[in-house]
Amino acid sequence: MAGGGIVHLVGAGPGDPGLMTVRALELIAQADAILYDRLIPPAALDGARPGCDLRYVGKQPGDAAMSQEQINSLLIELAAGGRRVVRLKGGDPFVFGRGGEEAEALAREGLAFEVVPGVTAGIAAPAYAGVPVTHRDTASAVAFVTGHENPEKKASALDWEALARFPGTLVFYMGIKNLPTIARRLTDAGRSGAEAAAVIERGTLPDQRTVLGTLADIASKVEQERIRPPAITVVGPVARLRERIAWRELRPLHGRRVAVTRARAQASGFASRLRALGAEVVEAPVIRIVPRAIEGELAGTIETIDRYAVLCLTSPNGATLLFDALRATGRDARALAGVTVAAIGPGTAAELARHGIVADVVPERSVAEALVEALESVPVEGREVLVARAAQARDLLPEALSARGAEVHVAALYDTVAEPLSDDARAGLERSDYVTFTSSSTVTMLLEALGTTDGLPQGARVVSIGPITSATAREHGLTVHVEAQRHDIDGLVAALVADAG
Nearer to ligand SAH, 199 or 335 (CB): 199
For ligand SAH, which residue of 5, 90, 213, 345 counts as binding (CB under 6 A)?
90
Nearer to ligand SAH, 174 or 367 (CB): 174
- The answer to whether residue 174 is catalytic is yes
Binding segment (CB under 6 A) for ligand SAH, from list 68-76, 85-93, 218-226, 392-400? 85-93
DSSP secondary structure letter of residue 229? S
Binding segment (CB under 6 A) for ligand SAH, from list 88-96, 151-159, 310-318, 357-365? 88-96
Backbone dihedral angles phi then psi of residue 135, each to the nearest 5 degrees: -155, 140
**Binding string, residues 136-175; x marks residues near ligand SAH by CB under 6 A:** -------------------------------------xx-
Residues 6+ apart with CB under 8 A from 224: none
Binding segment (CB under 6 A) for ligand SAH, from list 161-169, 197-205, 287-295, 406-414? 197-205
Nearer to ligand SAH, 92 or 419 (CB): 92
- The answer to whether residue 37 is catalytic is yes
Q: Which of 37, 92, 433, 488 is catalytic?
A: 37
Name the H helices within 5-65.
22-30
Pairwise CA distance, residues 366 & 369, whole Å: 9
Q: Tell me if residue 73 falls in helix, strand or coil.
A: helix
- The answer to whether residue 488 is catalytic is no
Beta strand residue intervals within 47-89, DSSP E: 53-56, 84-89
Q: Which of 1, 59, 188, 424 is catalytic?
A: 59
- Specify which residues 89 forms β-bridges with: 11
Q: Examine residue 125 and tell whether it contacts ligand SAH (CB under 6 A).
A: yes
Q: How many CB atoms sit inside 10 A of residue 291's CB?
A: 14
CB of 247 to ligand SAH, least distance (A): 16
Q: Examine residue 17 and tell whether it contacts ligand SAH (CB under 6 A).
A: no
Instruction: Write down how long the chain is.
Output: 501
For ligand SAH, which residue of 130, 132, 203, 278 counts as binding (CB under 6 A)?
203
User: Element (H or E) spanning 415, and its range?
Assistant: strand 407-418
Q: Examine residue 383 and tell whether it contacts ligand SAH (CB under 6 A).
A: no
Answer yes or no: are the C-beta atoms of 29 and 47 closer than 8 Å: yes
CB of 231 to ligand SAH, least distance (A): 5
Q: Closest residue (Cβ) to ligand SAH?
A: 91
Nearer to ligand SAH, 173 or 270 (CB): 173
Binding segment (CB under 6 A) for ligand SAH, from list 201-209, 389-397, 450-458, 459-467? 201-209
For ligand SAH, which residue of 117, 229, 237, 457 counts as binding (CB under 6 A)?
229
CB of 34 to ligand SAH, least distance (A): 16
DSSP secondary structure letter of residue 230? S
Residue 352's Cβ-count burial label (10 Å; 0-12, 13-18, 19+) is: buried
Name the H helices within 119-263.
121-128, 160-165, 179-188, 218-224, 242-245
CB of 87 to ligand SAH, least distance (A): 12
Q: Examine residue 14 and tell whether it contacts ligand SAH (CB under 6 A).
A: yes
Strands 434-437 and 310-313: unpaired
Residue 477's Cβ-count burial label (10 Å; 0-12, 13-18, 19+) is: exposed
Binding segment (CB under 6 A) for ligand SAH, from list 118-126, 290-298, 397-405, 419-427? 118-126
For ligand SAH, which residue of 27, 95, 106, 267 counts as binding (CB under 6 A)?
95
Q: Examine residue 210 and tell whether it contacts ligand SAH (CB under 6 A).
A: no
Residues 6+ apart with CB under 8 A from 493: 270, 273, 274, 277
Give the sheet arrangement for strand 112-116, strand by strand.
53-56, 33-36, 84-89, 6-11, 112-116
For ligand SAH, which residue of 19, 85, 91, 196 counts as binding (CB under 6 A)?
91
Q: Examine residue 71 and tell whether it contacts ligand SAH (CB under 6 A).
A: no
Nearer to ligand SAH, 127 or 421 (CB): 127
User: Element (H or E) spanning 498, and its range?
Assistant: helix 489-500
Strands 482-483 and 461-464: parallel
Nearer to ligand SAH, 230 or 318 (CB): 230
In Å, what is the CA distance from 399 to each residue of 305, 362, 368, 372?
A: 20, 19, 11, 10
Q: Which of 32, 89, 92, 174 is catalytic?
A: 174
Write out the binding residues for ligand SAH, residues 24-43 only, by CB under 6 A: 39
CB of 99 to ligand SAH, least distance (A): 8
Q: Examine residue 231 and tell whether it contacts ligand SAH (CB under 6 A).
A: yes
**DSSP 3-state percent helix, strand, coil across the chain (nearest 5):** 40, 20, 40
Q: How many CB atoms sit inside 10 A of residue 12's CB?
A: 29
CB of 10 to ligand SAH, least distance (A): 11
In Å, what is the CA distance from 197 to each residue of 182, 215, 218, 228?
A: 12, 6, 7, 16
Q: Single out the residue of 63, 62, 28 nearest to residue 47, CA to CA.
A: 28
Q: Catalogue the active-site residues.
A: 37, 59, 174
Q: Contact positions toward ligand SAH, by CB under 6 A?
A: 14-15, 39, 89-92, 95-97, 120-121, 125, 173-174, 200, 202-205, 229-232
